């Protein structure tokens, strides 16, 4: 019986790895070498442990996601792989605006997306929002009219409920 190719879905995979040299490239090599997508990837040490946690947003059919999970597991420094179903997911974005824009409106928009203006300089301000990745996308659409000069997204982090 052959596996049918199925529709591509967005999935979030968390990987717990030993903190050691080149562990990140083992993960990213695996994705590139096997032709899997990485939409976003975040990594940071887990406090008070020898491990780090990676959150990878990827896309693929159920079969591909299953392979990704198994292949990640095969890597020697990988402790655990979670392929999330029910999760809380957040992403941060920083946006730089010219100071001449309507700061009041920007500030109100930021608040609607769990954010605020976090820095201001002589000719620019920086706003921050932290929300679900999809909502961060909505925010970035909404602020287009205020001439954002630079946008940086953090990539998603997630925890299972």
Partner 1 sequence: MQISGAQMVIETFIAEGVTTVFGYPGGAIMNVYDEIYKQDGFKHILNRHEQASIHAAEGYAKASGKVGVAMITSGPGFTNAVTGLADAYMDSVPMVVISGQVPMSLIGTDGFQEIDAVGISRPCTKHNYLVTDAADLPRVLKEAFYIARTGRPGPVHVDIPKDVTAQIAEYNYDIEVNLETYKPHIKGNPRQIKKAIEAIANAKRPLFYLGGGVINSGASEVVREFVHKTGIPAVETLMARGVLSYDDELLVGMLGMHGSYSSNMAMSETDLVIGLGARFDDRVTGKLSEFAKNADVIHVDIDPASISKLVNADFPIVGDLKNVVTDMLKQIDKIDSDKYESWRETIINFAELHPLTFHEDSDRLKPQWVVKRVGELLGDSANISTDVGQHQMWAAQFYPFSRPNQWITSGGLGTMGFGFPAAIGVKAACPDKTSINFTGDGSILMNVQELMTAVETKIPVINIILNNNFLGMVRQWQTLFYDKRHSETDLTAQPDFVKLSEAFGGIGYRVTTKEEFDAALKDAVEKNIVTFIEVIVERFENVMPMVPSGGSLFNMMLLEKKETK
CB of 43 closer than 8 Å to CB of 95: no
Shortest Cβ 30–partner 1 spacing (Å):
8
Whose Cβ is closer to partner 1: residue 24's or residue 140's?
24
Selected range binding partner 1 among 16-24, 37-45, 92-100, 108-116, rule: CB under 8 A: 16-24
Q: Select from 46, 49, 73, 119 the one that contacts partner 1 (CB under 8 A).
A: 73
Tell me the longest C-alpha to C-alpha distance in the chain.
66
Q: Please, which residues bridge with residue 81 across strands?
A: 15
- Confirm or reject binding of residue 61 to partner 1 (CB under 8 A): no
Residue from 26, 96, 138, 153 touching partner 1 (CB under 8 A): that is 26
Q: To which residue do tokens 């921050």 refer?
A: 128
Q: Residue 160 and residue 101: Cα distance in Å, rounded?
A: 39
Round to whole Å and give the CA distance between 26 and 14: 15
Binding residues for partner 1, per CB under 8 A? 1-3, 17-18, 21-22, 25-26, 29-30, 33, 63, 66-67, 70-71, 73-74, 76-79
């Amino acid at each position: 019986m052959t596996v049918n190719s199925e529709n591509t879905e967005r999935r979030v995979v968390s990987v717990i790895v030993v903190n050691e040299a080149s562990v990140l490239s083992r993960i990213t090599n695996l994705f590139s070498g096997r032709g899997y997508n990485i939409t976003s990837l975040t990594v940071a040490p887990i406090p008070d442990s020898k491990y780090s946690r990676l959150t990878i947003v990827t896309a693929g059919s159920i079969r591909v996601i299953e392979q990704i999970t198994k292949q990640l597991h095969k890597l020697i420094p990988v402790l655990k792989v979670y392929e999330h179903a029910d999760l809380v997911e957040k992403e941060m974005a920083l946006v730089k605006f010219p100071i001449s824009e309507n700061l009041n409106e920007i500030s109100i928009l930021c608040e609607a997306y769990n954010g605020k203006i976090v820095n201001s300089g002589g000719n620019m301000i920086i706003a921050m929002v932290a929300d679900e990745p999809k909502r961060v996308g909505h925010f970035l659409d909404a602020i287009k009219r205020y001439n954002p000069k630079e946008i940086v997204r953090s990539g998603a982090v997630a925890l299972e409920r």
